[in-house]
């Protein structure tokens, strides 16, 4: 069963002459343990797709199922609960609360969901520990580097029993080394059984995904096909040309 399934999802903003079609009949299924990247230029509908997948907005038509539940049928309270328990979000600008330490930021969604402060803190520390940030638990966001802040944001997104991780340009503000570290963590979360959707215009980020979906003007225009094993690249390379994968 897919953790996230979009069926013929369309989104229209405005009415009449001011009507804007942000998404047209998008269908997408993401299973547990899978990372899907959605690539497209600005204005292609990537962020709208993510907000609908994250139940922050309703589609105009179509169905959104998360962990088997049709979320378009849920009340606002039920959706908020689903978001807290099932979905983790990672944004380009981290969205950490500045007045809370790293550990408090990570524990916050669990506390909001009714977990005792002590248990939430333990779970938060465990998540930070898994991401190599144990010694930063007591630091505030402004005492950490951009890369560390994003790792805290990922810890917050994967803490507890989350099944779905949604990321919007998660390494957009970071240098390439920190960006790679962020993608490794998201990849790791998928290996642990989460499903992830990463929207980006950056091919290096997208290349971490199992599948890449291309969006243009609100429509899915193309998808990658499962790639051959990496061995084929190493076999194909060689000689004095110094080129491993020629663009033909």
Partner 1 sequence: MSVRHALLALLSEGPKYGLQLREEFEDRTGDVWPLNVGQVYTTLQRLERDDLIEADSQAGTDTDDDKQKRFRITPAGESELGRWLRTPPDMSAPPRDELVMKILVAMRVPGTDVREIIQAHRRYLVELMQQWTRIKDDEAEYDLSLALVVDAELFRLDAVIRWLDSADGRIKRAGGTPPPPSPANVPRLRRRMGVTR
Q: Which residues bind partner 1 (CB under 8 A)?
A: 39, 41, 184, 187, 201-204, 206-209, 212, 214, 216, 221-225, 227-230, 232-234, 237-242, 244-245, 247-248
- Burial pattern 224-241, b for ≥16 Cβ within 10 A else e, equals beeeeeeeeeeeeeeeee
- Smallest gap from Cβ 208 to partner 1, in A, equals 6
* Choice between 68 and 226, CB closer to partner 1: 226
- Smallest gap from Cβ 181 to partner 1, in A, equals 11
- Smallest gap from Cβ 39 to partner 1, in A, equals 7
- Smallest gap from Cβ 233 to partner 1, in A, equals 5
* Choice between 145 and 207, CB closer to partner 1: 207
* Choice between 1 and 177, CB closer to partner 1: 177
- Smallest gap from Cβ 24 to partner 1, in A, equals 17
Contact between residue 68 and residue 124 where contact means Cβ atoms under 8 Å apart: no
* Choice between 97 and 237, CB closer to partner 1: 237
Closest CA to 44 of 8, 14, 20, 19: 20
User: Which residue's entry shows tokens 């076999």?
Assistant: 235
Torsion of CA 34, 39, 45, 48, to 10 degrees: 40
User: Do the bridges between strand 211-216 and strand 35-39 make them parallel or antiparallel, or are there none, so unpaired?
Assistant: parallel
| Calpha distance 60→113 (Å, rounded) | 29
* Choice between 7 and 187, CB closer to partner 1: 187
């Amino acid at each position: 069963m897919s953790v996230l399934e979009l069926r013929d999802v369309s989104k229209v903003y405005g009415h009449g002459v001011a009507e804007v079609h942000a998404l047209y009949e998008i269908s997408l299924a993401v299973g547990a343990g899978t990372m899907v990247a959605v690539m497209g230029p600005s204005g292609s509908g990537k962020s709208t797709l993510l907000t609908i997948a994250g139940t922050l907005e309703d589609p105009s038509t179509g169905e959104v199922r998360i962990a088997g539940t049709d979320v378009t049928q849920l009340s606002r309270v039920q959706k908020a609960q689903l978001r807290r328990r099932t979905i983790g979000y990672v944004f380009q600008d981290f969205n950490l609360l500045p007045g809370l330490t790293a550990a408090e930021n990570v524990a916050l969604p669990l506390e909001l969901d009714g977990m005792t402060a002590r248990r939430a803190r333990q779970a938060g520390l465990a998540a930070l520990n898994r991401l190599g940030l144990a010694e930063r638990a007591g630091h505030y966001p402004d005492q950490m580097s951009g890369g560390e802040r994003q790792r805290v944001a990922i810890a917050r997104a994967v803490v507890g029993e989350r099944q779905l991780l949604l990321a919007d340009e998660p390494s957009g503000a970071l240098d390439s080394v920190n960006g790679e570290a962020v993608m490794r963590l998201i990849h790791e979360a998928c290996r642990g059984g989460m499903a992830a959707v990463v929207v980006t215009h950056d091919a290096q980020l997208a290349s971490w995904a199992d599948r890449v979906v291309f969006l243009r003007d609100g429509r899915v225009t193309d998808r990658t096909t499962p790639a051959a094993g990496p061995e084929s690249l190493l076999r194909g390379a060689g000689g004095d040309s110094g080129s491993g994968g020629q663009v033909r």
